[in-house]
Amino acid sequence: MAQGATTPKDELLLEFRNEYEKIKTRLAENQQLIEQSQLEVDRLREKNVALNIQFRRIEANFDTIPRSDIKAAYDDSIDAKTRLLTMQGQLEKLKGNQEELQYFEQLLGRLLNLVQGITPDRLPAPAAPGTVDVLSPDGSSLSTQAIVRIVEAQEVERQRLARQMHDGPAQSLTNFILQAEICQRLFDRNPDRAGEELSNLKTAASGTFQKVRDFIFDLRPMMLDDLGLVPTIRRYVEAYEEKTGIDTQLNILGDERRLPAHIEVMMFRSIQEVMGNARDKLSAKTLNIVLDVGPEWLKATIENDGRGFDPDEILYDDTHEDLLGLRTLRERIELVGGSIEVTSAEDDISRFVIMLPCAG
């Protein structure tokens, strides 16, 4: 072999090292976001405690306090509780992302050692991604039923992600370890065959790394924090159409600008959930999304040609199972002062209109 020529093993090692460094960088960035979010959660908790003390003073002197002061205190309390709930949800997502990234980092570390021909001395086996304890807002005025639904929705989402992890990237990465061990044994006995196996392994690794990137983007797109809602929605729609084959159109109206973080997160998650339902449960073939960033309201209209359903039954009738998750979605949207309207009928277009206040 000519000096300086690149072998399949060298290419695979370079691919693994690059991905390993990227994940380490993502881990560090995600940890910073966790720390920032934790500080914000702590600040909002302290604010809620102070507001509760203020309310007790108001109750003790109710007859002497002006109505305008009472209303202002009430509005401040609702806003603080809403922001606390939103930030706690964001913190929980970030912690979940950190667990997934740590899991991939450990697997890639083992693979890197194997491909380099280093036998790990009892490297700790990567722990399967676990669940994060659900936090509830201090002094929240949410109904118990609403809290239960939100917690149940979070658990269903975790189960779905765990299944995707097991059946997708985690399984592929585990197979890589076995293939790398085979290549390691072939190097001394049959170098040519080992080179072929490494080429196949490199091709499979490249495909799996792309799936890992897509998986992380679905969990929490970092560009939502860096660039905002509109660029993130554009990127998500492009990836959605590419992966699903569903004809998806996106139109942006109004002033493309940054909005409060919890409003951007809520709108992104809401659109993501409606699009997921169109793909997984309504068997839609086309989707049309209009995002209107107005001066006071952020409005998303999502239409699909999938299977029809009874909106009132899904949204408001507790005796029927919430198969689309719309009841919980409605409650989350209402928590931040927004609303959702749904129209649907058999053999007709289903339309979802989501409104959120731009000021949050």
Question: Rounded mean pLDDT of 201-209?
Answer: 72
Could you give phi then psi for residue 248, rounded to 5 degrees? -120, 125
Cα Rg of the chain, angstroms = 25
CA-nearest of 236, 101, 241, 238 to 169 is 101
Of 133-142, 200-209, 328-337, highest mean pLDDT: 328-337
Q: Are 183 and 201 in contact (CB under 8 A)?
A: yes
Count of C-beta atoms within a 10 Å radius of residue 28: 10
CA-nearest of 291, 289, 231 to 258 is 231
Q: Are 86 and 135 in contact (CB under 8 A)?
A: no
Give this prediction's pTM: 0.49
Report pLDDT digits (tens) over 258-298: 998 888 988 998 999 899 889 988 889 999 999 999 999 99
Of residues 127 and 181, which shows the higher confidence score?
A: 181
Residues 6+ apart with CB under 8 A from 175: 204
Question: Rounded mean pLDDT of 40-55?
Answer: 80
In this structure, what token pair is assigned to residue 6? Answer: 């690149």
